[in-house]
Amino acid sequence: MNTIEPILISHTIEAVKELYQGEIQASQINITATRKEFDGDFTLMIFPLVKISKKTPEQTAEEIGAYLLKHVEAIENYNIIKGFLNLKLQNAFWANFLSAIVTKENHGQLANTGKKIILEYTGPNSNKPLHLGHVRNMLLGYSLSNLLSAAGNDVTRLNIYNDRGIAICKSMYAWQTQAHGLTPDTAKEKGDHFVGKYYALYSKLEKEESEAKGIKPEETDIAKACKKMLLDWEAGDEQLIRLWKEMNQWVYDAHQVTFDSIGISFDKVYYESENYLLGKQMVLDGLAKGVYYKRADGAVCVDLTADGLDEKVLLRPDGTSIYLTQDIGVAHQRYEDYHPDRSLYVVGNEQDYHFKVLKLCLQKLGEPYADGVEHISYGLVELPNGRLKSREGNIVDADDLIQGVLEIAAERTKEQGKVDSLSATELQKLYRTIGLGALKYFILKVAAAKRIVFNPEESIDFQGNTGPFIQYTHARICSILRKKEAAPIANNTYEFNELEKELLSLLYHLPHAIKAAADAMDPAIVANNMYELAKTYSKYYSAYKILNAEDESTIQNRINLSKAVANAIKFSLNILSIDAPERM
RNA sequence: GUUCUCUUAGCUCAGCUGGAUAGAGCAACUGCCUUCUAAGCAGUAGGUCAAAGGUUCGAAUCCUUUAGGGAACGCCA
C-alpha cells in the first residue's frame, strides 16, 4: 500500500528549499491526522518551519500550502488555522484506499523486518494452580507475541517451568505423608488444584509443628525432612525422581487445560531442572575468566557497584545455584536454540532489579546475545485488600475466573435473546467467545506499565469500552454483509461524508498504531485504537442507512467501508487473542 | 536509606515522537427500537491533568523539587 505522508514530507522539504532557501530534516516535519473538529485529512505543523521562513506562522502556512497544492496531485485544498496547515485530500485518494483494503483481511500487517524474536511468558511453578496474576501475564505475553508478529517479526513463544527446588519438595512431602496414594484421577480433581492443595497442607503442618514446639518454622522436623528431600533430588534419588515426574505431569496436564481454555499457546517449554547446571558452569567459567570473583566465605559473586547496583551472589558458599544462576543458564540455552535478534521476558515489574542484574551478568560474560535481552515489565494485579499472595490465600484462581465470565456471558446473551436459532454447541462457543472477550479486553486495554486493581465483587462490564461492545460492532457488520457482499469499485467517484472520512482515516492509521504498539510493547494501544474505530462505526451505523441508502453507488461504498472496518476489528481482536463472532 | 514506578472527571481508564477548545466508558439524569442486531445512538452534568518551579512560539506530555500510592534493593523464586 502506498502512503501519502512520505510524499507530503518530501514536498515540504522541497518547498522550504525553494521558498526560503533553507534545509529541514524529515524528522523535524510533523504531519498528523487532522483532528475531527477541523476540516481536512492531514495537518502539517508550521511552527518548526517559522524559524527558517522568518515569517509569521500564517504567512508561512499560506505559502507552503500553495506550494503543496500545486505540486501534490492528491491534495484538493487546504485551510490554515493559527500555525496549523490542514490539507484536504481528493475523494479519489480515499476511494482508491478503500478499494485497496476492502478485500484485504490483514490490513495492518506490517512488512517483514527479518528479525527473529523469542518471547517468554507465564513462567508458572509446577506445584500450584494458575491465578489472576498469571492470567495478566499470559494475556500480555500472548498478545505481545501476536503484536510483534503483526509488526513483521518472526516470533517464537516460550514458557518456562520452575519445576525444581524446595517448594516442589513441600508438595511432594505432604502428598507422600498425607495422600494415601490418592491421585487427581481418583480424587476427581484438576491436577494443579490437587497438587496445590498438598502444598498448602504442608504450610499448615509446618505452622502447627512450629507453634506446638515453639520453634522457628525452618527448625521443624517437617522442614528438615523437606530439605533432605531436596538434597536427595539433586543427588538423583530414583524413587524420588519418579514421584517428582509424576506429580509435575499432573500439574502440566492441568495447566494445559487452562491454557487451552483461555486460548493461549507456546512453541516451546523450558524446564529449570534441565538448565540450572548449565548456569552453574557458566558462572564458574566467568570466575575463571576473572569477571566474577570468589568471596572469603567461598561464594561466587559479581560486583555491580560500578553500574549503580550491589554485589550479587551467583553461587552459594556450598556451591549450589540460585535463581539468578539458573536464569543465566536458560538465557544461554535459549540463544543456542534460536539465535534470536531479541530475547524478551514478560515478567512483572517486581523483578525489574533482577533483570537488570541478569543482563549485566551476561554482558560481563561477553555473551553475544546479552544486549538483546529485554525485560518486558508490567504492573501487577491487586485485589482491593492488597496484593495477590498465594501464600496468604489472597488469590483469584484462573479457572474460577474464566468460569465466572463464561457464566455472565451466557446470562447476558440469554437476556438479549438474539441468537435463539443457534445450536447448543454453537451457544457454548459463543458464551466462551464473549466471556473471554470481556475478560481479555478488560485486562489488555490497560497500559501494561499500570497496575490493575481487580475487584471480584464487581463483575466485568459488557457495555461501553469493553470487549463485547467491539465484538457486537463486528457482529452487526457481519449481519449486513450476509445480505450483500463487499466488492471493490472501479473509477469510484463517491463523495464520502464526514463520518466516512473519519472511519477511513482511522483505517489508514491502523498500521501506524500497530507500529506504535509494537515499539511500546503494549497491546493496550491496539485495544484503544480499535475501540475508537468501533465507537465511530457505531455512530455511523445509527446515523446512516447502509443497505437502504439512496442509490446503488452509496450502498456499495458503505458496504465496502463496513467490510473494511470489520476486517480491521477482527485483525485487532486477533492480536489481543479475542475472537470476532459473526452473530451475537 | 537508595533506586524504579505510578498520580488526568465520583469510579475505571485514553491522550503515540511536546501542538488546536484535555477525551471515552461506568455511575446519575433526558430522549430514541412497526426501518440494516438498542451489548447501540443522541443529549445534560461532571476537570486547577497531585503541587510548585523551569525549558519552549506552545507542556497532561520534557527537566528539577515536593507530596502521596506501589515495588525492588534476599545465599526466596
Query: Is pLDDT above 80 for A457?
Result: no
Nucleotide lying nearest to A584, CA to C1' measure? B37
Domain ranges within chain A, ordered by starting residue: 5-89, 405-575
Query: Is pLDDT above 80 for A268?
Result: yes
A43 C-beta less than 7 Å away from strand B:
yes
**pLDDT > 90 in chain A, percent:** 77
Nucleotides of B under 7 A from a protein CB: 3-7, 12-17, 19-21, 24-27, 35-42, 57-58, 69-77
A397 C-beta less than 7 Å away from strand B:
no
Angle between helices A552-575 and A91-102 (to 10 degrees): 60
Q: Which residue is nearest to nucleotide B37 (CA to C1')?
A: A476
pLDDT at A456: 77
A531 C-beta less than 7 Å away from strand B:
yes
| A482 CA from B31 C1′ (Å) | 32
A390 C-beta less than 7 Å away from strand B:
no
Q: Tens of pLDDT along A189-221?
A: 999 999 999 999 999 999 899 999 988 888 899
Nucleotide lying nearest to A463, CA to C1' measure? B39
* Residues A166, A172: Cα–Cα separation, whole Å: 10
> What is each CA distance from A378 to A350, A370, A372, A455, in whole angstroms?
9, 21, 19, 19
* Residues A299, A303: Cα–Cα separation, whole Å: 12
Which A residues between 102 and 161 have a beta carbon under 7 A from any strand B atom? 125
CATH number corresponding to A405-575: 1.10.730.10
Average pLDDT for A333-347:
96
Nucleotide lying nearest to A466, CA to C1' measure? B25
In contact, A35 and A86? CB cutoff 8 Å: no
Q: Which amino acid is at A29?
A: I
* Residues A459, A442: Cα–Cα separation, whole Å: 11
What backbone phi and psi angles, to 5 degrees, belong to A434? -75, -45
Q: Which of A76, A116, A44, A104 is nearest to A511 (CA)?
A: A104
What pairs with residue A131 in β-bridges?
Answer: A397
Q: Which amino acid is at A166?
A: I
Query: Is pLDDT above 80 for A366?
Result: yes
pLDDT at A2: 58
Q: Tens of pLDDT along A375-430?
A: 999 998 888 776 665 555 567 899 999 999 999 999 999 989 888 889 999 999 99
Nucleotide lying nearest to A295, CA to C1' measure? B75
CATH class, range A5-89: alpha beta
In contact, A467 and A446? CB cutoff 8 Å: no
Q: Whole-model pTM?
A: 0.95
Predicted confidence band at A454 (pLDDT cuts at 50, 70, 90)?
Answer: confident
Complex confidence, ipTM: 0.95
A451 C-beta less than 7 Å away from strand B:
yes
Within A316-411, strands assigned E span 342-348, 373-378, 381-383, 386-387
In contact, A562 and A546? CB cutoff 8 Å: yes
